[in-house]
Amino acid sequence: MKILVPFKSVPDPNDATVVGAAASTPKSVINPFDEIAIEEALRIRERGEAAEIVGITIGAPTVDEQIRAALAMGVDRAIRIDDSRALDPYAVARILRVLIEKEAPHVVIMGKQAVDDDSNQVGQMLAGLLRWPQATFVSKIEFLSNKTRARCTRETDAGLEVIEIKLPAIITTDLRLNEPRYVSLPGLMKARRKSIEVLTCDQLGVTVRPLTTVLSTARPPKRAAGTRVESVEELVTKLRQEAKVL
Amino acid sequence: MAESLVLIEHDRQQVKRPSLHAITLARKLGGEYALLVLGHRLDGIAASLVSYGACAVVVADDPALAKPLADRYATVIAEAARKRGAKTILGTSSTFSKDLLPRAAALLDAPMVTDVVAIEEMDGSISYRRPVNAGSMFAIVKVEGDRRVLTVRGTAFEAPAADAAPCPIKRFDFDAASLPNGIQFISREERKSDRPDLTEARVVVSGGRPLKDKETFERLVGGLADALGGAIGATRAAVDAGMAPNDYQIGQTGKVVAPELYIALGISGAIQHLAGIKDSRIIVAINKDPDAPIFQMATYGLVGDLHRIVPQLIESIRRA
């Protein structure tokens, strides 16, 4: 089985000083949900259910650092679509679609959302464009029937749901699917010898233009800090008399 | 005709109330709007939707739609949008709409904007305001083309009034036999709870990692929620540790709530969690760490050991 994992570089969400900061160049990392997708692909290969994992990302040469990190985790080879425009999810889905048709994987695993843009669209759009089945927000994957189907547990607003999908299909990952491994030194050494193929949209024969544009960004008004109370009695009195919520 | 089509969510028994909030945005957009509901045996659900000022309640009712499977539902949503000439297709943000609407957008060859919290009109065109980076920033987004798909943050728009003259219910006919068949429903976790729904509750009590285990979580978070008639929420850490089920998770990748009263027990205030609570009217934080970031946004903060404080608080509320 061949697994394809699209991933995105995002500003490190664990670096609190980075969020929204304009002054310094934020450190980039693989989008945490996509890292979970990579980890799942590695585990599937380690179980002997997949032979090859291909990583795909879109961006300028600066994202090569995250590609090396994916290769160091254990991804077999990587493709970078050289495009530094501010693409929207639908443009990303249209580019990925062409590459997926070319690579013909049995399954595509990717994060449910990128933690910078929080759109949660690309996987579903890709499934729609390809007319493939989809399983979103997945916390467990099992392959069945000689790997022609996958049984997926989904995290929904109403609790866990189990569905079965025919392959090929798109699976998007939720937080509790796994905990990604750390990159090892031998992994890093091996990654240096792995290839990064660079392609352009022209070479792929795909013309896309983002249809949504961010005109501006701003910080929301800060919620003012309130008061400290010293006891349960004082808290209950405030909630009753001042806030009038009890 | 600038018609909008609002996707309504239900659990077969009744409409999910937050899904009605998207109607309020449809009204702001102006022009006629229809409500779209999919499923099987929908007569009661459809009848409950006729007074929201829509031009029609459009009903796709078929055994093939008994479960909300993305490939089938998105196909029917896209077909209904096309046949009605809908320019804006929208629904309240939930795992239901986030599963279906991006797929429908691709089938309609239309762009999409997630989690709209406001619209702004400039030079006769509409742009959309949405949170990004775990709600630490807002982006104003412009959309090209004459058709677009939106999800709407339920907490940012009021529930619409149901006071209009009844509109017609129109059956949407489609070829069920030609629907995709790549996804099969197997099972859903059934959990009965007498507590209110997290996204609709007036009071939400949430717990973090210091609650230690499932039993303590239920006793303290559940006990306080029950004393207040509230719902239960949790941080990612508490869910990861198995103290609470996944659908209790509040924050960037979980649910977004805006109750009258939000009580955070043992929650330090990671930005990802704060993203899901910052529009609550009153926030109470109880935490033993006086430097926890949650105190910077809490209306009332109480520093101390929650294992000692919460039973006192429950007792004090029950006594009143």
Q: pLDDT-based confidence at B2, cuts 50/70/90?
A: low
Q: Does B261 map to a domain?
A: yes
| Cα–Cα dist B263/B224, whole Å | 9
Q: What is the DSSP letter of B15?
A: B
Range of the domain at B245: 203-319
What is the C-alpha separation between A140 and B282, in angstroms, rounded? 37
A90 with B111: Cβ contact below 8 A: yes
CATH number at residue B85: 3.40.50.620
Cβ–Cβ contact A88 with B under 8 A: yes
Here the CATH number for the domain that contains residue B222 is: 3.40.50.1220
- Domain residue ranges in chain A: 2-242
pLDDT in tens, B191-234: 788 899 999 999 999 999 999 999 999 999 999 999 999 999 99
Residue B31 lies in a domain: yes
The shortest C-alpha distance from B54 to chain A (Å) reads: 27
Q: Are residues B157 and B210 in the same domain?
A: no
Distances (CA, A) of A113 to A121, A245, B59, B243: 7, 36, 31, 25
Q: Is residue B187 in a domain? A: no
Which of B143, B178, B213 terminates a domain? The answer is B178
Which DSSP letter does residue A237 get?
Answer: H
Answer whether residue B224 is part of any domain: yes
Q: How confident is the model at residue A25 (pLDDT cuts 50, 70, 90)?
A: low
Give whole-number Cα distances, B170 to B38, B74, B84, B319, in Å. Answer: 12, 19, 12, 53
CA dist., res. A152 & res. A107, Å (int):
13
Cβ neighbours of A140 in B, within 8 Å = none
Establish if B103 belongs to a structural domain. Answer: yes
**B14 and B116 both lie in a single domain:** yes
Instruction: Mark which of B136, B161, B178 sits at the end of a domain.
Output: B178
The whole-angstrom distance between A29's CA and the closest CA on chain B is 14
Give yes or no: residues B102 and B20 share one domain: yes
Inter-chain touch B144–A213, beta carbons under 8 Å: yes
For the stretch A34-71, pLDDT in tens is 999 999 999 999 999 999 999 999 999 999 999 999 99
Query: What pLDDT digit, counting tens, does each position of B95-133 carry?
Result: 999 999 999 999 999 999 999 999 998 878 899 999 999
Give the CATH number of domain A2-242; options: 1.10.3720.10, 3.40.50.620, 3.20.20.70, 3.40.50.20.
3.40.50.620
pTM, full prediction: 0.95
